[in-house]
A = this chain, B = another copy of it.
Amino acid sequence: MVNVAILGFGTVGSGVAEVIYTNNRQIAQRVSDPVEVKYILDVRDFPDSPFADKVIHDFSIIENDPEVDVVVETIGGATIALEFTRRALAAGKSVVSSNKELVAKHGCQLMKLAKENNVSYLFEASVGGGIPILHPIRSCLAANELDQISGILNGTTNYILTRMIQAGLSFEQALKEAQAKGYAEQNPAADIEGHDACRKICILASLAWGRHIAPEQVPTEGITAITLADVAYAKAAGMKIKLLGRALRRDDGKVAAYVAPHLVKEETPLANVVGVFNAISVVGNAIGDVMFYGQGAGKLPTASAVVADVMEAAKAKGYIKSNYWEEGGEDVVFSSDEVESQWYARVSGQEEGPGWKKLGAADGQSAWLSEGKLTPAQAKAELKGLEVKTLFRVLD
Contacts and interface: CB of A to CB of B under 8 A. Distances in A.
A244 to B, nearest CB: 16
Contacts of A145: 23, 26
Contacts of A310: 143
Nearest to A210: B29
A135 B140 contact: yes
A290 B294 contact: yes
A22 interface: yes
Interface string A280-312: 000011111111111100101101111110111
17 contacts: A19-B286, A20-B143, A22-B285, A136-B136, A140-B308, A143-B304, A143-B307, A143-B310, A269-B273, A272-B272, A285-B300, A286-B303, A286-B304, A286-B307, A287-B301, A289-B295, A290-B295
A130 interface: yes
A142 interface: yes
Contacts of A130: 286-288, 290
Contacts of A144: 19, 23, 26, 304
B300 A142 contact: no
Contacts of A294: 287-291
A106 interface: no
A132 interface: yes
A144 B30 CA distance: 11
A145 to B, nearest CB: 6
A176 B274 CA distance: 36
The 4 closest A-B pairs by CB, nearest first: A132-B140, A143-B307, A290-B294, A286-B304
A299 to B, nearest CB: 9
Contacts of A269: 269, 272-273, 293
A364 B59 CA distance: 76
A307 to B, nearest CB: 3
A132 B143 contact: no
Given A136-B135, A308-B143, A293 B290 contact: yes
Given A23-B286, A142-B308, 18 more contacts: A27-B142, A29-B210, A132-B141, A135-B139, A136-B136, A139-B311, A140-B308, A143-B303, A143-B306, A143-B311, A267-B274, A269-B269, A284-B304, A287-B305, A288-B295, A288-B301, A289-B295, A292-B292
A139 B307 CA distance: 10
A46 interface: no
A19 B298 CA distance: 38
Contacts of A308: 139-143
Contacts of A290: 130-132, 292-295
A101 interface: no
Nearest to A16: B143
A124 interface: yes
A136 to B, nearest CB: 4
Nearest to A140: B132
A255 to B, nearest CB: 14
